[in-house]
């Protein structure tokens, strides 16, 4: 039951070239910073990354993009990364853009054992190309398949050695959904506590979904776009 590993380098040992990864976070909020840095250091390449976004140029998944370690991004919002834009427009990077709600639902479906579902989101756009269409209550819906990954990598505020996780505020975002959808899930936490210290009513992800957990270090907690009032 003790799922602790020493650090990010040990946690990612099973990740090989060509694998598909899910990475939690929304913007730069709740991203698994330590594991991303470890992947950069390891030089793991040819990765398919499923993430709400692609980080920024010098942080988050942007670090893997700089090193050309990602071959394909499956994302919803990618507007903060100039290097992502350059690689996409030049054809260096495969990109599958998904409506944000559909991305969340496809991750949740995988974790719930649902192979596919119908949604109206994306009908009549490029998103629907090549997908089955059925009508429900007179409205067209497209068939979307669940998303899974070889590894899901998430970041929580607190966790115990059994893998039970608590996410703080908006850092919860995609993390619980992706934690359920990976074949193997790695959790990095800001604080690793003893079993019993977490209130069972506050646990967002039960340990059954987690295979490896470690306490991370040196979290930067950046803000993507800082908006302030001018001095008066």
Q: What is the pLDDT at residue 80?
A: 81
Q: What is the pLDDT at residue 223?
A: 77
Structural domains of the chain, ranges and CATH numbers in brackets:
8-117+148-215 (3.40.1080.10)
pTM for the predicted model, two decimal places: 0.93
Q: What is the pLDDT at residue 209?
A: 97
Q: What is the pLDDT at residue 221?
A: 79
Q: What is the pLDDT at residue 231?
A: 82
Q: What is the pLDDT at residue 85?
A: 92
Q: What is the pLDDT at residue 202?
A: 93
pLDDT per residue, tens digit, the chain (232 aa), is 899 999 999 999 999 999 999 999 998 999 999 999 999 999 999 999 999 999 898 899 999 999 999 999 999 988 788 999 999 999 999 999 999 999 999 999 999 999 999 999 999 999 999 999 999 999 999 999 999 999 999 999 999 999 999 999 999 999 999 999 999 999 999 999 999 999 999 999 999 999 999 999 999 878 777 788 888 7
Q: What is the pLDDT at residue 225?
A: 75
The answer to whether the CB of 159 falls within 8 A of the CB of 213 is: yes
């Amino acid at each position: 039951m003790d799922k602790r590993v020493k650090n990010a380098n040990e946690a990612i040992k099973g990740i090989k070239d060509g694998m598909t990864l899910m990475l939690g976070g929304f913007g730069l909020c709740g991203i698994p910073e330590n594991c991303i840095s470890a992947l950069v250091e390891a030089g793991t390449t040819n990765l398919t990354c499923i993430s709400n976004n692609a980080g920024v140029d010098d942080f988050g998944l942007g670090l893997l993009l700089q090193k050309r370690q990602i071959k394909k991004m499956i994302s919803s919002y990618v507007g903060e990364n100039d290097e992502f834009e350059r690689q996409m427009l030049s054809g260096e990077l495969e990109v599958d853009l998904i409506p944000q709600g559909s991305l969340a639902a496809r991750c949740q479906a995988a974790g719930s054992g649902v192979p596919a579902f119908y949604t109206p989101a994306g009908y009549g756009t490029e998103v629907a190309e090549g997908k089955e269409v059925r009508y429900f209550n007179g409205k067209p819906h497209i068939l979307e398949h669940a998303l899974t990954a070889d590894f899901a990598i998430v970041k929580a505020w607190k966790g115990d050695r059994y893998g039970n996780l608590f996410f703080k505020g908006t850092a919860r975002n995609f993390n619980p959904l992706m934690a359920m959808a990976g074949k193997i899930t790695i959790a990095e936490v800001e604080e690793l506590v003893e079993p019993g210290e977490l209130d069972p009513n506050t646990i967002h992800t039960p340990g059954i979904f987690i295979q490896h957990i470690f306490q991370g270090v040196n979290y930067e907690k950046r803000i993507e776009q800082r908006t302030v009032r001018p001095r008066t």
